Amino acid sequence: MMRKLKAIHILTITAVVLLAITTLFGVFSWNISKSFDAVNQYGETIKMWGSGIYARDSYFKAPIFIGSDLTVLLVSIPLTIIFLINDLKKQNKTSRLLLVSILAWVLYYAISLCFGVTYNALFLAYTALFVCSLFAFITGVYGVSKERFEVPDFLTGKAYTIFLLLSGISTFVAWLPDIISSFGNGTLDLIEVYTTEITYILDMGIISPTAFICLYLLKKRNSFGVVLLSILTVGIITVGAMMIFQTGFQIASGIDLPIPALITKSLIFLLLGVYAIILVRKLYKNMNND
């Protein structure tokens, strides 16, 4: 039986509607026949996408955005709806933690749209999605942070330790070489029409430290480590799926992807996603048996 809607549920429902709007506009932007050249702020000639909501984004980045949109449409939205319904029915700490975990990555997606995509007609939708997902996440984290989650021995074992170490290190392996190589000319490779790379900031500034903090908290048997672990595993599963769609759209658009880039920027996160599926199933199986 469904229970009374709470603020987190209303915000989540609104976020799902906004996700559907933004992702559909993004997916229907797929058209490789309308590209054009433009001179960027660095004096370089850049090939632009030219179609749909991403018309003013670069030809390299637009397929990545479209791949992300399709992942959210096929993976994140269904998961959010499933976790929302589950929490409406049960409203216990396990159901709320699942909802909070997916909301964290809806928020990540919203931030990427707001700060990573060239300004377009969906700006207000992006902003509303960011606001809804932010406050839904804050509300959810505040609630689950007051709960006690058992930290069983297996969470401090090798499997989870290796996962968290790899998750924390992989973001630097993927992005730091690009930043170091930019010191010579003052700009990132493939920065194109953008002023910065939001993914580098989020991954190295937030995701990586969170993985190490989570590992520390689990070793100390702090129950908030379980909250962070759930958020990280659910998110990395989503990122792993996203790598498949992003890479597929880039290849379909004719973009040449070097093998080293595929390994460090796609394959690592795909393998981590598979690893995360195994770990999160064991985590929640243990919770359900408590």
Q: What is the pLDDT of residues 194-218, one digit of tens each?
A: 998 999 999 999 999 999 999 999 9
Share of the chain above pLDDT 70, in %: 98
Greater pLDDT, 175 or 263? 175
| Radius of gyration of the chain from its Cα atoms, rounded to whole angstroms | 19
For 162, residues 6+ apart whose C-beta sits below 8 A from its C-beta are: none
Q: CA separation (Å) from 93 to 98, 120, 255, 288? A: 9, 39, 45, 11
- pLDDT on residue 289: 62
3-class secondary structure, 18 = helix
- pLDDT on residue 103: 97
Rounded to whole angstroms, how far apart are CA atoms 48 and 57?
6
Q: How does DSSP classify residue 135?
A: H
pLDDT at residue 274 greater than cutoff 70: yes
Provide the pLDDT confidence category of residue 268 given band limits of 50, 70 and 90: confident
pLDDT at residue 192 greater than cutoff 70: yes
Torsion on CA atoms 260, 261, 263, 265, rounded to nearest 10: 150
pLDDT at residue 1 greater than cutoff 70: no
pLDDT per position as a tens digit, 11-70: 999 999 999 999 999 999 999 999 999 999 989 999 999 999 999 999 999 999 999 999
pLDDT-wise least confident of 67-71, 101-105, 169-173, 227-231: 169-173
- pLDDT on residue 18: 98
Provide the pLDDT confidence category of residue 141 given band limits of 50, 70 and 90: very high
CA 205 to chain centre: 14
Q: Say how many CA atoms lie within 13 Å of 279 toward its Cβ.
A: 28
Greater pLDDT, 220 or 257? 220
- pLDDT on residue 267: 85
Chain mean pLDDT for the chain: 93
Rounded to whole angstroms, how far apart are CA atoms 186 and 243?
28
Q: Say what the pTM is.
A: 0.93
pLDDT at residue 238 greater than cutoff 80: yes
